[in-house]
Structure 1
Amino acid sequence: MAEAHQAVAFQFTVTPDGIDLQLCHEALRQIYLSALHSWKKRFIRFKNGVMTGVYPGSPSGLIVVVGGYMTYAKYAKIDPSLGLVTKMATHLPIRKCITEDNQRIVGGMLIGTGVWAIIIFIMRNILKSLLSWHGWMHSAHGSVSMKTKIWLVLVKLFSGPKPMLYSFQSSLPHLPVPPVNHTMKRYLESVRPLMDDEQYKRMEGLAKDFEKNLGPKLQWYLKLKAFWASNYVSDWWEEYIYLRGRGPIMVNSNYYAMDFLYVFPTHLQAARAGNAIHAIMLYRRKLDRAQIKPLMVQNTIPLCSSQYERMFNTTRAPGVEEDTIQHVNESKHIVVFHKGRFFKVWMFYDGRLLLPREIEQQMERILADASKPQTGEEKLAALTAGDRVPWAKARSEFFSRGKNKQSLDAVEKAAFFVTLDDTEQRYEPDNPVQSLDIYAKSLLHGKCYDRWFDKSFNLIVFKNGTMGLNAEHTWADAPIVGHLWEHVLSMDPLKLGYAEDGHCKGKPHPSLPGPQRLQWDISDECQSVINSSLKLATDIADDVDMHIFPFNNFGKGLIKKCRTSPDGFIQLALQLAHFRDKNKFCLTYEASMTRLFREGRTETVRSCTIQTCDFVRAMMDEKQTKEERLRLLKLATEKHQELYRLAMTGKGIDRHLFCLYVVSKYLGVDSPFLKEVLSEPWRLSTSQTPLQQVDLFDLKKHPEYATSGGGFGPVADDGYGVSYIILGEDLINFHISSKRSSSETDSHRFGSHIKQAMLDILDLFDLNKKVAN
């Protein structure tokens, strides 16, 4: 049973003898504990701010340097400040107290502090210069040059000890602006295999005209921005690609992450929610304290951590012309949706975070609540699934005052959103295809009104204990959410665990106040907007064709024996599968990251190259020899790795072209070249979900703890979206999406082509016996 809980600090009555105060000690105690918790968080944030601000130095280093100078000045009987303290003392009221010894001590303190600051400044800039070199990426696999070894040692030397999450932010280099002529050359190279001679000649003319005339002018403004801004791409990318989009974000922008593939820790919905929510809140506590270790390539080269800042307490608020990201520093509650009702659940009591069994207790109360949804409440969240303009107008008109505003604030300022889904989802060995497809669609869009798609992420827990995430894309990219999800999956069955009866470990709290039911007053006009949004969202959801399949014929282990990049191998398989599916090549998007730079997000690898197309044609030509196919495969994978390195090191072309286009719009000039480039559809959009914390999952000993990965909706009306995750040595999970309304696509057909392409490429290496084993 859910109930509203109001803590009243005191009561009073007026009597003939005066006012009689009746203090409620429990309420005062809770207020005290809440205040203590808030002040602790403020102190920790202040301390972390200081530690990050002086990194790679430290306060202890300041004490050593200043103490050394003060001692030296006192016993050597010299004034390190060269009379500066004396001159300052003549203008201060304390000049009578400044003795000769004191002058030396104060002088040592001032000079020591200055030397310490200079040392930090020098170390930080040396580290920044070191991190600007990316020659290490060109080392052959399995071998490291002497130059790279020396560079790695220097990076470690100047990185300082025990870095916190944000320690490297000020040392990361800024994203460079590529030269216009380089971008034009590489763009033309990327579209050459997709155009006939006449089309290419026309595009070449447009590119050369742009490079000679308008390009240099736009480039000047872009370089000016890059000089002043931390990152010349990220703010415009967030604004124009995400926040200014007026269409639905459900399916088109939001993405999902799945549970374990084979393991089902408990069948109790409330218990699974209890452990998962507690694990998420533990992660948030570590995040608030900056105790999460920054991700580092080869355990040495840091990646930007700025995207973590808005993981919690964040929502995308709709606007008529542009949405906004709203983030609050502190949120002590979550909001839970179940069977059309919204509940506010406090995550703290007695000045501490609720334990898993106590959170399970709150979920049990919500599940047991038999009350009906208020008028218009059940499908309210469909507003977040439809077009943004109707939602923005409805939010302003119907949710700006009274109980609606209070309840909406509770949702939008919650740490995150939870749905206790009333359906059952999981991988079924007897029905593997349909069970995973339905599971993915449920996470991607559900019923279109049972997820709050504006929240930074939704935790969905199904009736049978399976769970997953649905995440909003604006505030961060998938690897950030993936890092959180890896933490939750590793904590849930292994560290937190369950009792024999499936409940969370521990005991329910005897006096824990229950969840608070949110109150709404939804008018008929508002219900009309809700129904319109729901209809649009339902049409979008019904059109999504999902296909998820675990590819377990072989994995990374066998691909490495082919001396080929696993990602390059898979990308070639996707190109071969796509050609077999549609009998043509298409512009292909593969997501790469630019987090080697400050505030970096993503870049595009255009993985359909001339070399890739040559290889695919050879595979389709029955007359071609295996040796020739292997030669072309090697050229194609080498080209792919080169493009990936260029994208990661700030030399990609698509973000540069995008920013040039934005500048042209600000200047009010039209560019036929940029207009055409930015309108080209990505009919094959691909992304690898990286397993970042491999130490959390020992898949050799426990292969059953393999996750299903995650996926996203189709990008083009007549195209495919493909996400894949490489798990351990022997498993690759694929997530394929397309639209049922397109006569050109079929996700299951494309999936079968991918399977066959993977096997056909492996067959070139004569490793069939190892596959059978």
Structure 2
Amino acid sequence: MAKTFSNQHKLSKLPVPTLQETLTKYLQTIEPFLSREEHAKNEALAQDFMRPGGLGEKLQQRLLDVDRAAANNWLDDTWWIQKAYHEWREPLLVNSNWYILMRHDRNHAYPLPEQALLPVREGLERFSTFQVKRAAHVTQQLLDFCDDLNAERVPAEMTRAGPLCMHQYSQLIGQTRIPQHGCDRMVHVPFPNLARHIVLIVDDQLFKIDVYSTEGKRLLDGDIERQFLLALDQLTKIEASAPIGLLTCDHRDAWTVAREHLLTVDSQNRAALETIESALFCVTLDSREAATVVDHATDLAAWAKFGMHGHGGHNRWCDKSLNLVFERDGKFMCHGEHSPCDALIPAIIMEKIVQVGTDLNAPRSQALVEPPKHLAFKVDDETRKHLKAAEATIDKLSRDSDCGMLYFNEYGTQFIKKVAKTSPDAYLQMALQLAWYKQQGEGCATYETGSTRAFRNGRTETIRTFSSASKRFCEAMENKAVSTAEKEKLMKQAAAAHSKYQREAANGKGIDRHLMGLRLCLQPGESHPLFQQEVFGKSSAYLLSTSGLFAGDDFFGTGFGAMYPNGYGINYLSGAQVLKFGTESKFSAPNTSTKAFGDILRQSLREMRAVIEANLPEDQKKIAAKL
């Protein structure tokens, strides 16, 4: 087994594409937005931008110098986290943070028997025995991963093309974003992370929980369970502190001002914040006596909404890279801050963690450990005003967030690969294109996450899904006069074009990151009409913001917010038999509806299958029907 970071030295730096490569591809991606005359105008502007001695050549040379000065990655070392995340001032809740709804515990049938849901103590009926036990167990599993990572026992990931960068794994545990004027920052956490505590959140109260003994030994499941119970006991004895976690859900500038003021009120506030910010991760025991009502067969909207923003932002610390949240009935989901690493990394970790079920009689040791410490905050009238303003922001944000989860179980990737003989991801992207076209009557700029982990410290590149090929496919599908044979041909052409773009993006040949780098190299007073054309903005205004993970058989769903208020944010899981689409839009947008889009997407998937099957030989139709 290759050690976690043993292949890092083999990875090359993210390339800087040539101007010709990027501008040629850019012109292709804007073609479906424009008339021939408009496209010809943009072609002329692109030629002027690339001419010898022109502005494009100067910007390219500046960018190449940025690349030469970068130790690992010209984009990640220089701009990425700031430009993609930290300069964005909107609240993290809904707008940026992601969530994953995890499978039920492997050792216990759902719904749980009443015995498992007994309250932990008299007076603490809103917390169940199983809730605490599962929270302690998952915490222990994640701590196992932390130890493996620190010792480089997490296997280095490989693909057929070669090794993948593992840097993002070192950026998940212990990371915290802190608000700053204009641009946030990450709390510096050296690797390996030597923190020995987590933070428990209950009733908006925060507790420091040591997970190592005073002698430096890891606690067992039963020990952590006991620590959680001791913290719950304190709830009946302590003076409740203000719900400071709500401030992390507010607009970033508002949270910056509130945090700066909070630090001046009393020195214990900085001590409490530093304890939270240096913790490995946060664990929440949700205190609603009635857990989120979920119909797993048909409707996960309530659970998706809980994953996105909880009960009005309570019991979260949105700045923390990882929050594990447990409901009274044992349901478990995680919620995380997006900037230190992409959601794929915690998804991979969580998929492994949920493989081991909870032991109701978990062992305990005799280890000596510091008891839970309540992290109390001193507040004044100014902080109370900040909290009231944060509650108003959160209420408006959460009320407008239209969350849903489409479970499509009529077929999955097995049919797509074996019968449609198409890349599953490209096929699902075409289904999303068709659903949007059906609902809106036209196509739109579409973002799909493309990974650049084949390069050192690589993060993502945009895969531009909307293309001339996808436009022709959607138009044909809505035209009854077009034959099924022609529709299938156009479907496969569109999927093939998408797969080609996907491969090029993974190989560092996408265009969005390069165009961003060129524009960031502009000096005051410099500009070019190519960047000022309406289509330049329209082609990167991603009304459909999408990302696919993997099969996700151990997840009920995943999700993130829409990039634009009149669009959708869609995270999907492509299983062999089941396809899951976590979708978010805004109730205030007159052109979108999460439920309506889900219904149309279901219809689109059915129509695409019907097209495929209509052109199959009779003997293959019987085989296809079983998939």
Residue aligned with 2:491, SS: helix
Do the aligned residues in 2 keep the contact of 1:718 with 1:742 (CA within 8 Å)? yes
- 2:124 paired residue number: none
Measured after TM superposition, the shift of residue 281 of structure 1 is: 0.6
Residue aligned with 2:406, SS: strand
Amino acid at match of 2:55: L
Do the aligned residues in 2 keep the contact of 1:341 with 1:372 (CA within 8 Å)? no
Counterpart pick for 2:140 among 249, 255, 278: 278
Residue aligned with 2:355, SS: helix
- 2:88 paired residue number: 245
Measured after TM superposition, the shift of residue 675 of structure 1 is: 5.1
- 1:687 paired residue number: 547
Distance in 1 between the 2:580 and 2:366 partners? 41
> What is the correspondence of 1:60-79 to structure 2 with a 5 Å cutoff?
none
- 2:7 paired residue number: 168
- 1:48 paired residue number: none
- 1:225 paired residue number: 66
Do the aligned residues in 2 keep the contact of 1:380 with 1:449 (CA within 8 Å)? no
> What is the correspondence of 1:406-485 to structure 2 with a 5 Å cutoff?
406-423=271-288, 424-425=290-291, 428-429=294-295, 432-433=298-299, 436-446=300-310, 447-485=312-350
Distance in 1 between the 2:442 and 2:238 partners? 51
Q: Can you list the C-alpha shifts for 1:712-762, whole angstroms capped at 9, x where unaligned?
A: 0111110011111122x2111111110110000001111011111111111
TM-score after normalising by structure 2: 0.89
Change (3 A) 1:543 1:206: farther
Q: Does the alignment pair 1:488 with 2:341?
A: no
Measured after TM superposition, the shift of residue 597 of structure 1 is: 0.7
Change (3 A) 1:620 1:396: same
Q: Can you list the C-alpha shifts for 1:348-376, whole angstroms capped at 9, x where unaligned?
A: 1143111111111222233344437756x
How large is the RMSD of aligned CA atoms in angstroms? Answer: 2.2
- 2:596 paired residue number: 749
Amino acid at match of 2:390: S
- 1:15 paired residue number: none
Distance in 2 between the 1:359 and 1:192 partners? 58
Amino acid at match of 1:715: M
> What is the correspondence of 1:564-575 to structure 2 with a 5 Å cutoff?
564-575=422-433
Measured after TM superposition, the shift of residue 542 of structure 1 is: 1.2
- 2:179 paired residue number: 318
Q: Considering only CA atoms, is the larger Rg found in Structure 1 or Structure 2? A: 1
Measured after TM superposition, the shift of residue 327 of structure 1 is: 2.9
Q: Can you list the C-alpha shifts for 1:530-578, whole angstroms capped at 9, x where unaligned?
A: 2212211221111110110221111111111121111111111111111
Residue aligned with 1:399, SS: helix
Distance in 2 between the 1:675 and 1:356 partners? 59
Q: Does the alignment pair 1:234 with 2:94?
A: no
Measured after TM superposition, the shift of residue 412 of structure 1 is: 0.8
Distance in 2 between the 1:754 and 1:548 partners? 12
> What is the correspondence of 1:287-326 to structure 2 with a 5 Å cutoff?
287-298=149-160, 301-326=162-187
- 1:80 paired residue number: none
Do the aligned residues in 2 keep the contact of 1:555 with 1:726 (CA within 8 Å)? yes
Distance in 2 between the 1:675 and 1:521 partners? 50
- 1:195 paired residue number: 34
Q: Can you list the C-alpha shifts for 1:43-81, whole angstroms capped at 9, x where unaligned?
A: xxxxxxxxxxxxxxxxxxxxxxxxxxxxxxxxxxxxxxx
Amino acid at match of 2:98: Y
Counterpart pick for 1:762 among 588, 596, 609: 609
Instruction: After superposing the two structures, state which structure 1 stretch, 175-184 or 598-607, moved more.
Output: 175-184
Residue aligned with 1:765, SS: helix
Do the aligned residues in 1 keep the contact of 2:221 with 2:364 (CA within 8 Å)? no
How many residue pairs get matched? 586
Amino acid at match of 1:740: F
Amino acid at match of 1:203: N
Change (3 A) 1:675 1:531: farther
Counterpart pick for 1:725 among 563, 573, 597: 573
Of structures 1 and 2, the one scoring higher in RCO (CA 8 A, sep 6+) is 2
TM-score after normalising by structure 1: 0.73
More helix by share: 1
Distance in 2 between the 1:527 and 1:549 partners? 40
Residue aligned with 2:176, SS: strand
- 2:436 paired residue number: 578
Q: Does the alignment pair 1:357 with 2:228?
A: no
- Structure 1: 5+ residue runs without aligned partners? 1-161, 693-704
Distance in 2 between the 1:523 and 1:389 partners? 20
Q: Can you list the C-alpha shifts for 1:683-704, whole angstroms capped at 9, x where unaligned?
A: 1111001259xxxxxxxxxxxx
Change (3 A) 1:678 1:371: farther
Distance in 2 between the 1:402 and 1:481 partners? 34
Counterpart pick for 1:269 among 131, 142, 145: 131
Change (3 A) 1:553 1:617: same
- 2:99 paired residue number: 256
Do the aligned residues in 1 keep the contact of 2:104 with 2:332 (CA within 8 Å)? no
Do the aligned residues in 2 keep the contact of 1:261 with 1:427 (CA within 8 Å)? no
Do the aligned residues in 2 keep the contact of 1:658 with 1:678 (CA within 8 Å)? no
Counterpart pick for 1:662 among 504, 509, 520: 520
Residue aligned with 1:279, SS: helix
Change (3 A) 1:335 1:430: closer
Instruction: After superposing the two structures, state which structure 1 stretch, 514-523 or 358-367, moved more.
Output: 358-367
- 1:625 paired residue number: 483
Q: Can you list the C-alpha shifts for 1:202-248, whole angstroms capped at 9, x where unaligned?
A: 43344333233311110001111222312111231111121112221
Distance in 1 between the 2:407 and 2:297 partners? 13
Change (3 A) 1:427 1:734: farther
Residue aligned with 1:352, SS: coil
Counterpart pick for 2:248 among 384, 408, 412: 384
Distance in 2 between the 1:326 and 1:715 partners? 26
Do the aligned residues in 1 keep the contact of 2:565 with 2:586 (CA within 8 Å)? yes
Measured after TM superposition, the shift of residue 638 of structure 1 is: 1.1
Q: Can you list the C-alpha shifts for 1:636-685, whole angstroms capped at 9, x where unaligned?
A: 11111110110000110010011111111x55523343355357411111
Distance in 2 between the 1:426 and 1:725 partners? 22
Q: Does the alignment pair 1:525 with 2:382?
A: yes
Amino acid at match of 2:323: N
Residue aligned with 2:521, SS: helix
Residue aligned with 1:763, SS: helix
Distance in 1 between the 2:564 and 2:425 partners? 23
Distance in 2 between the 1:274 and 1:675 partners? 55
Distance in 2 between the 1:202 and 1:538 partners? 46
Residue aligned with 2:257, SS: helix
Counterpart pick for 1:706 among 554, 564, 568: 554
